[in-house]
Amino acid sequence: MSIPTPSLGDMNLDDFRHYGHRLIDWIADYLEHPERYPVLSPSQPDEIKAQLPTTPPQQPETVYQILTDFEKIIMPGLTHWNHPGFFAYFGITGSGPGILGELLTAALNVNAMLWRTSPAATELEEVTLDWLRQMLGLPATFDGVIMDTASVASMLAIAAAREAVEGLAVRTKGLAGRADVPRLRVYISDQTHSSVEKGAIILGIGQDNVVKIPSDDHFRLNPGELERAIKADLAAGHHPLFVCATVGTTSTTSIDPVPAIAEIAQRYRLWLHIDGAYGGMAAILPEMRHVLAGAEQADSLVVNPHKWLFTPIDLSAFYIRHPDILKQAFSLIPEYLRSAETDAKIVKDYMDYGVQLGRRFRALKLWLVIRTFGSEGLAARLREHIRLGQQFAAWIDESPNFERMAPTPFSTVCFRAHPPRLDDETELDQLNEALLNAVNATGEIFISHTKLHGCYILRLAIGNIRSDEYRVRRAWELLQGQLALLTEMLP
């Protein structure tokens, strides 16, 4: 079949319109019933690659051909994060308004590096992040910047902390070959997300200078241990630089005691960063606002609308009380990026507040999400997730065959199967791993695991907009049913 490609321009706009409409229909059908697919892809390693040509097509292909292959080859290789039974890691949602926002962002394709390169992109970013700040109950002393991920936001927080230390001048002098720089120390807990440690690695702080403070029996950073570590470091001539408190740790969603940590950070002049990537978002509920108690004293904070605010990945909201320090760390303006507005200091150029120059117009999707659902609608959805999480936790607590392994402050439950008279830890680990694989193989739900005190723990995290009571109940039925099958098979 010959394909008409009459010009050197973009694809034919009639085709664009035709396939654009069909694609929206396809997406709506998909989102209506994502549970038609197994939530966890059954694909084996290299199975998808084997179906794709190893060399690029030399001649144009039709959108029809490409979309046919998408359905036939790509779809079976997807794990369905939109599936209502997606309870692994943290559930996320690319909601309708978020998807429409992404579509517009791609279509406009503006680069929001300077105010001038799209004034509306910069100003909408300022406004939407200020809306979100108000929803979270944070004071107006915080300025927001949209980042791709919490990982990058936390790295930038460490960079800002380092920039804030007088006389260090790492920006100009670097760190290598200097005898005048003490070891810079970064404090986290043994439950802190790996991204903070990674940030310290990237910035040349060094993994050996990331001090992991033991958590207490509820997996919270222990402030007494933090102070002890800071004192020991000071005695050794090190420079305590940065502490990260987490609101909703990744394994158990524990909440570090921010007010006590803030007090220590202030006393020893450390930069306090709050990682609220998941749990911080719960502060949009008036009854959960306490999870960010003490946050007003933080130097920086990150929450992830792409995690628990129905915004398609990626969009992290990075709040900082000293945007000037972030700018001091990262602003570098070559002549070709100067503008009259910048010189007059009357606008914000977001390229000055991070690593990347080119910036997607991410604010648009968050604007659509907040406006479409309203702050109360968003809060109501999170509230329902928390209710479902608490209900699941109660079922675990009432069952003689299961036990809860951590407190459940949000919508994520850590538990394991523990049938009566089976007390060998190795056997329990094996049983729970087998149970995880068995329920995930049903295709109806997907849960993940973690390790706590060396034990294999199951994790059910509710965060997808389509996860409802029916599906959580179904998860509970599957867990009980598969456990019964597995324990029947025990010798």
Ligand X SMILES: *Cc1c(COP(=O)(O)O)cnc(C)c1O
Task: Give the footprint of ligand X on this chain (CB under 6 A).
Answer: 90, 149-151, 193, 195, 246, 248-250, 275, 277-278, 304, 307, 316
- Which CB, 38 or 248, lies closer to ligand X? 248
Instruction: For residues 272 and 277, give the distance between their C-alpha atoms in angstroms, rounded to a whole number.
Output: 15
Dihedral of the alpha carbons of 180, 183, 186, 191, in degrees to the nearest 10? 170
DSSP state of 72: I
- Which CB, 69 or 216, lies closer to ligand X? 216
Smallest distance, Å, CB 89 to ligand X?
8
Smallest distance, Å, CB 307 to ligand X?
6
Smallest distance, Å, CB 240 to ligand X?
22
Tokens of 305: 């609308």
Residue type, 223: P
Smallest distance, Å, CB 262 to ligand X?
18
Shortest CA distance to 189 belongs to which of 72, 274, 63?
A: 274
Tokens of 257: 């005691």
Instruction: For residues 105 and 99, give the distance between their C-alpha atoms in angstroms, rounded to a whole number.
Output: 10
- Which CB, 209 or 316, lies closer to ligand X? 316
Strand partners, 187: 211, 243
Tokens of 195: 């991204």
- Which CB, 243 or 435, lies closer to ligand X? 243
Mention every residue, 6+ apart, whose C-beta is less than 8 A from residue 469.
388, 391
Instruction: For residues 409 and 257, give the distance between their C-alpha atoms in angstroms, rounded to a whole number.
Output: 13
- Which CB, 210 or 435, lies closer to ligand X? 210
Residue type, 477: E
Smallest distance, Å, CB 184 to ligand X?
21
- Which CB, 303 or 475, lies closer to ligand X? 303
Smallest distance, Å, CB 288 to ligand X?
16
Tokens of 294: 């003490």
- Which CB, 37 or 353, lies closer to ligand X? 353
* 81 Ramachandran zone, left/alpha/beta (phi>0; psi -120 to 50): alpha
Smallest distance, Å, CB 316 to ligand X?
5
